Structure 1
Amino acid sequence: MTEKHYWLFKAEPHIYGIEHLAAAPQKTGRWDGIRNYQARNFLRDQVAVGDEVFIYHSSCKQVGIVGTARVVKAAYPDPTQFDPESPYYDPKATPENPRWVSVDIKLSNIFSRLIPLAEIKAQPALENMVLLKQSRLSTQPVSAHEWKIVHSLI
Structure 2
Amino acid sequence: MDKNTGYSYSIPMDRPDWIAACAHALQCRWRTVDPEVLEDVAADLWAMESMRILPPLVAARDWLEPVTPPPPADPVRGILGHIPGDWVSRGAKGLPTPGPADTEPRRVVLEVPVFGRVCLSYRATQGRHRGRASHWFWCAVRAEPI
TM-score under structure 2 normalisation?
0.27
| More contact order relative to length (CA 8 Å, sep ≥ 6) | 1
TM-score under structure 1 normalisation?
0.26
Structure number with the higher helix fraction is 2
Structure of higher CA gyration radius: 2
